[in-house]
Structure 1
Amino acid sequence: MKELIETIVKPLVDFPEDVQVNVEEESQRITYKLSVHKSDMGKVIGKQGRVAKAIRTVVYAAGSSQQKKIFLEIVE
């Protein structure tokens, strides 16, 4: 899943080397924290959050086969 997020986000940003995905796993949920360069934040979020919503939709669909709930957070 981490590779999927990186594959989606890296072509969108100007600084692909700054893309980081951290994983926090708990008993009932897995949280992926996406971190990008400060100037790329707008590109990842998109107008009115459309790009972020699209990324989340793909990630949630790919993770639907797992027993745990999946969350994607975009952090600064």
Structure 2
Amino acid sequence: MQEVDFLHYVVQNIVEHPESIEIEKKVDELGTLLTLQVHPDDMGIIIGKKGSTVNALRSIIRLQGMKLGQKITLKVLEHE
């Protein structure tokens, strides 16, 4: 759960609607998948210019996974 708490902490500090953050964690034989959902107005912030913000988030999450001995992948979805 450490990686979920970390991701939530980072994301809540950069979005306009932190109350809309949802993070789902799924673990299988390939590793851990974190699915992040944010408010539609926050998608641009999360993705960033040319994907720079989401790529940085993925890199940080991947590094945290390496520290924990896991493969962690981040997927971002818009709330429906």
Equivalence map 1:36-75=2 (5 Å): 36-75=38-77
Identity %: 28
Kindly state the Cα deviation for residue 57 of structure 1 after the two structures are TM-superposed: 0.9
- Mapped partners of 1:27, 1:68: distance in 2: 11
In structure 1, distance between residues paired with 2:32 and 2:68: 10
Structure 1 CA distance for aligned equivalents of residues 33 and 16 of structure 2: 25
1:20 and 2:22 matched: yes
Q: Which runs of 5+ in 2 are unaligned?
A: none
SS at match of 1:12: coil
Question: CA 1:10–1:16 in structure 2 vs 1: closer, same or farther (change >3 Å)?
Answer: same
What is the RMSD of the two structures over their aligned residues, measured on CA atoms? 1.1
Q: What is the Cα deviation at residue 66 of structure 1?
A: 3.7
